[in-house]
Amino acid sequence: MQFEPLSLVVHRAVLNAPSGLKASQIAEQVGRPYRVMIAELLHDGTRKPDMDLLVPYLHATGSDEPLKHLARVTGTVFLRLPDAESGMEPITQEMADSVKRFGEMLSVLGKSIEDGVITPREALAINKEGHEVIAAVLRVLKRTEAAADY
């Protein structure tokens, strides 16, 4: 199975940073001139990305997408653990989210198998949705543990 280069995932995170920082600000934070950063992340043939900068990129962009991508391509799961909140409301919210995400995965899977062939693009979409389901279920478990009366 062919996967999108990690540098392109980081590039998208830089351009659409949840942190609200502009790409030029992110370049400054990671210690790269803006044009060099973009050239590295786009694999323009002149430069290769510095993998030691992945963590600074994650911090500067505030994006989990590069970690989610790595989890998908390595057969692992990325999960940002929620802050532990007590009470039943957070648990029920997480339960509802896990059911919703499972439904979304089944929808993607159902559409993919209608013609009897799963394309590489469809397989990636199913894989991505499946990882979201697993992460949602793990969040339910984390909330349950936090709410438990030990």
Is residue 80 included in any domain, yes or no? no
Nearest to 129 by CA among 111, 146, 147, 117: 111
Q: How many helices (H) and strands (E) does the chain have?
A: 7, 0
Domains: count for the chain? 2
Are 42 and 98 in a shared domain? no
pLDDT per residue as tens digits for the range 52-74: 999 999 999 999 999 999 988 89
> What proportion of the chain, given as a percentage, has pLDDT over 70?
93
Read off the pTM.
0.63
Q: Domain of 127?
A: 89-147
pLDDT per residue as tens digits for the range 73-132: 898 878 776 655 555 677 788 888 889 889 988 998 998 899 888 998 888 888 888 888
Report angle CA 53, 48, 38 to the nearest 5 degrees: 75
Are 60 and 114 in a shared domain? no
Burial tier of 140 (Cβ tally within 10 Å: 0-12, 13-18, 19+): buried
